[in-house]
Chain A
């Protein structure tokens, strides 16, 4: 047991002290933060810029539409006439909205044109379009002598609430939340297996090429060495993920702190709206937040947590021992190609199946791949947030554990023989022979 600890410690330190590990661990969060800050910064910059848009309203009916907003100021150039207004706009303003004269309300919407130097911003165009549409609609309603209050009373907003048969409320937000958590967990395992499985394989190849392997296994059992390597690398990986999680948390808080203040200050423009609207908005936003919280509470968090640990361990151990066996079988990393494909295949299939599982979490494909042990760590984790019967989870875990034991046994055999073989490019037939040594 003491020797296993020594090996784990060495493998962990060798990994953690590696320059690329340090760079990746520190740089990734910084890079992410940099990228996010850049996006946010550019967004802010974009919205800070105030555009001035001129308009010429020859119909004399729509000028009231053009009230200033946060990002846009409107200037009435009707008095100048179209030609002069165009010249002036070209020189000073962002664009010009031209509304031609019209004989009736029906034709009012025709021939409205936006002149500008560059292609105009789509959001600005649709904003103006919306405003005009609404105004013209109001005018038409007025002309038809329909009571606007009655129309307002007839308007409804609908959101369908969903509920399952055991009475738990669910919602669209809920399904999204399930997709995100399930998909996130599955993807996390996928990434971890690939990154740290490969790292185990490299470490085995390094011992082979540096020829230290025979010295080590004259002191410890090959199985101990393999296990120590797998655990040591996993610990380094977990450390990396923890560092990322903590720094992501810190950075997120920092960002929300810095930008949160600004958001609040820009929120003061709400004051210009009428109090009724504000009330409505607040009510709906607290409602949403409550719903999300409610949904989070509804997730089978405990099941998710424990099954994440079991599937994570099972999946990682299975795949990293296969990686270790591959590393032992070859002489250099370039020889690993022919063995890598069959290993990556089930992982990639699992991710693809995972996406369809999110659409239909209880279909036959979802069930099959969440029981099959080479894909279950990813697929089952994606299913669990949607609620999976206990017998399925237990069957899947049992299959996982049995496969884990079998694969580690096979891998250890190949590993034991392979680490002492040099200069042979092994075929599958050769590997099969090693199992019998």
Chain B
């Protein structure tokens, strides 16, 4: 698969502080790429370098196969974490200005703005000043400005902060729709549940180093612990639990449903889920059987902890 963005061995230092240390990532075309990491890990530094706001000390970046150049600005749409608009400027005028800065012609920008304003049902805001809008309303305008010039690569830094759940959902749907229309998306966030919902690929940055990247499914596969949650119906729960505990590594689970016996089983190497089911089936009636797949959150915590 073709990569829309390739970052090769990028390093960036601010004085004696290292913001990025030899970081490489590849963002496949048409995917949602989650850029994850704790605060101060270097995500924003990397995003700013991709946006050509700052230059890397070393390393190369390719956009759509070409070495990154100033004219690529119009192929990138960027919604920064620290965002805002001119407070005393009118919504329409401001959106036109920002669109023209991205290289759109005035008439083209007007046409597209009309489309988006109608879509978000905000056409009556055109002549309002930003200071008359609520924070959520201003964020909508900001989102429109980011995607207006139909860039190949969209970069969202914490896009859902400041949105209520309804509008956050609206924006999420729009992001997925943009991906389906062919845009590639870099998505930086702390909110792991949105990573789970949106991202196809992720990269994890911690202490200015990339510590993990790849397809989300593959990473989950890698982080599988062979742990299963089991629910059984039994008259004598304590006795049954002791019996199973003697054979497997078991711990009690809190998620009991309808008074069944629930516990977590860690399988050792060589043991398979089929063996487990067979064994349990002989003991009692099974009401629940799932493999515990690590959430993005778990992976995040584990990887960062391992990185020490």
Contact = CB atoms under 8 A, between A and B. Distances in A.
Interface of A: 3, 6-7, 10, 14, 18, 206-207, 210-212, 214-221, 420, 422, 433, 436-437
Contact of B80 (A6, A207, A215, A221): A215
Contacts, number: 61
B15 A218 contact: no
B156 to A, nearest CB: 13
A347 to B, nearest CB: 29
Given A14-B86, A212-B84, A215-B80, 11 more contacts: A6-B100, A211-B80, A211-B83, A214-B78, A214-B82, A215-B78, A215-B142, A216-B98, A218-B53, A420-B53, A437-B15
B208 to A, nearest CB: 16
A436 B14 CA distance: 9
B83 A215 contact: yes
Contact of A210 (B51, B85, B97): B85
Contacts of B78: 214-215, 218
B128 interface: no
Contacts of A220: 101
Interface string B82-111: 111111110000000110111000000000
B171 interface: no
Interface residues of B, number: 26
B20 interface: no
A6 B101 CA distance: 7
A214 B102 contact: no
Contacts of B102: 219
Given A433-B15, A437-B14, A216 B101 contact: yes
A55 B98 CA distance: 83
A18 B52 CA distance: 32
B73 A218 contact: yes
A211 to B, nearest CB: 3
Contacts of B86: 14, 206-207, 210, 212
B221 to A, nearest CB: 36
B46 interface: no
B44 to A, nearest CB: 9
A422 B82 contact: yes
A211 B76 contact: no
A379 B142 CA distance: 48
Contact of A214 (B76, B80, B89, B100): B80
A18 to B, nearest CB: 8
A214 B53 contact: yes
A216 B86 CA distance: 11
Contacts of B51: 218
Contact of A10 (B76, B80, B97): B97
Contacts of A422: 82
Nearest to A211: B84
Nearest to B77: A218
A4 B51 CA distance: 19
Contact of B82 (A3, A10, A211, A216): A211
B98 A215 contact: yes
A422 B81 CA distance: 13
3 nearest A-B pairs in the assembled complex, by CB-CB distance: A211-B84, A219-B101, A214-B80
Given A210-B84, A211-B83, A211-B84, A217 B15 contact: no
Nearest to A219: B101
